[in-house]
Structure 1
């Protein structure tokens, strides 16, 4: 019991020391105009360095990630086919695909997939 409490104390002390050192080292000490501006071959920038953010591209990327994760959730259905009842396997798979298709239809109906607008 005394070894585990001693180990916990040492771990906490080392963690706090590392956090304090990282906090002190990561501080920027010099904040001037040249360090805050973007670098363009030594000249002052002609325009804003921030490009306009395409919200439509962001929405398409998020939709892609959601459907990509859902495909990884569908992959185990193929491996458990021999382990479970075929009716329950088919019901679960079709229900999950139906939910995906309803979500895709909703996104399509809302116009989130129209890139040309």
Structure 2
């Protein structure tokens, strides 16, 4: 019985060279898939960077608009305060006018009583 006989070709077993070639082909496929995934990831990162830049720009413009709105609100509050003081002054003058009108009517009534002939 000869046990040194090469049996690798009996059942279609690949030769070491064929195994290395197959292994290289698997590695090449894996490398190609990795490159595709890397390219996709780089595009995603570029998109995220652009989105971040857009958000920062939008945030800045929103903050500017908010600051302008706050300034406008402060200005309108000052104007409202001034108008309130003017209105309160006018209401005081109106109350004084009404008081003086009533007092004038009362005094006219007393004057008529004094100046009218008594029956």
Structure possessing the higher radius of gyration over alpha carbons: 2
Q: Which has the higher helix share?
A: 2
Q: What's the TM-score, normalizing by structure 1?
A: 0.28
* RCO comparison, higher one (Cα < 8 Å, 6+): 1
